[in-house]
Amino acid sequence: MKSTTHPTPRPLNATDSQSRHLLEFGRLLLVLPLKEQPPEGVGTIRCGGYHPTVVRRSGSEEPGRARFGAYNEDGDWSIEAPYKPGDVVPLREPYAQAIVVKPNNGWQRVLEWVYKADYRGTERLVWAPAKQMREETIRLRPTVVMVECRRVSGITGDEAEAAAFKYETTSRGEIVVSRAGVDTAVRAFAADWPRRHKRPADAFDCCWGFFYTLSLKGK
């Protein structure tokens, strides 16, 4: 069985809207394209535990170590998921440094890390992107509670909202809460997808992805 493996889980990057959604509701859906898209005619794809075939130098075949990911029913294609249920994943988000006044500590002015998702100050800050967040500043470590593999274009309205796409982007780049129901959430998700995933193989209409449900409560 052909198999693509991954190193140990790495931090995930989230937008401020996604971090805000996770903090508010305790759960978040993150959809990521497969690193290797399945070939044409791959057949039915399932997601779960599997044992890829290992071919020894002698030519003999035997089951390899247990893995979690996507595989087809015929057993000739698979890809290991970067994250599996039970993984506790560091979540990086946009952040900055700001001077914060501490009223309970003699009104001292202290330089602290702040997060765009819940910043309510009036100071104009220079926000660093999530991918630049350092380990010591990560505050969110949700647990992966469910993983599915399917076509990204099949995302439902409820799922798009669970992925924090109840927000729309205006022509000025401002984020506003959508008032138009689930179809708007799907359109917002589809419009945002090519901005994040630029490989031709990851085109929204034909891409397969892992759907990760994250929870702050660990279940």
Q: What is the pLDDT of residues 86-110, one digit of tens each?
A: 999 999 999 998 877 667 666 667 7
**Residue 44, SS3 per DSSP:** coil
Over range 189-215, report the average pLDDT: 93
Mean pLDDT of the region 171-189: 59
Count Cβ neighbours within 10 Å for each residue of 48-69 and write b for 16 or more, e otherwise: eebbbeeeeeeeeeeeeeebbb
Please report the pLDDT score of residue 177 as a whole number: 47
**Residues in contact with 129: Cβ distance below 8 Å, sequence separation at least 6, in sequence order:** 13, 94
pLDDT at 14: 95
User: Which backbone phi and psi does 51 adopt, to 5 degrees?
Assistant: -120, 100
Cut 0.75: pTM above it: yes
**In terms of residues, how long is the chain?**
219
pLDDT tens readout for residues 2-25: 555 445 579 999 999 999 999 999
If one compares 166 and 153, the residue with the highest pLDDT of the two is 153
Going by pLDDT thresholds of 50, 70 and 90, the confidence category of residue 188 is: confident
Confidence of residue 28 (pLDDT cuts 50, 70, 90): very high
**DSSP code for 37:** P
Residue 169: pLDDT band by 50, 70, 90 thresholds?
A: very low
Q: What is the mean pLDDT of residues 40-66?
A: 80
Give the SS3 label for residue 187: helix
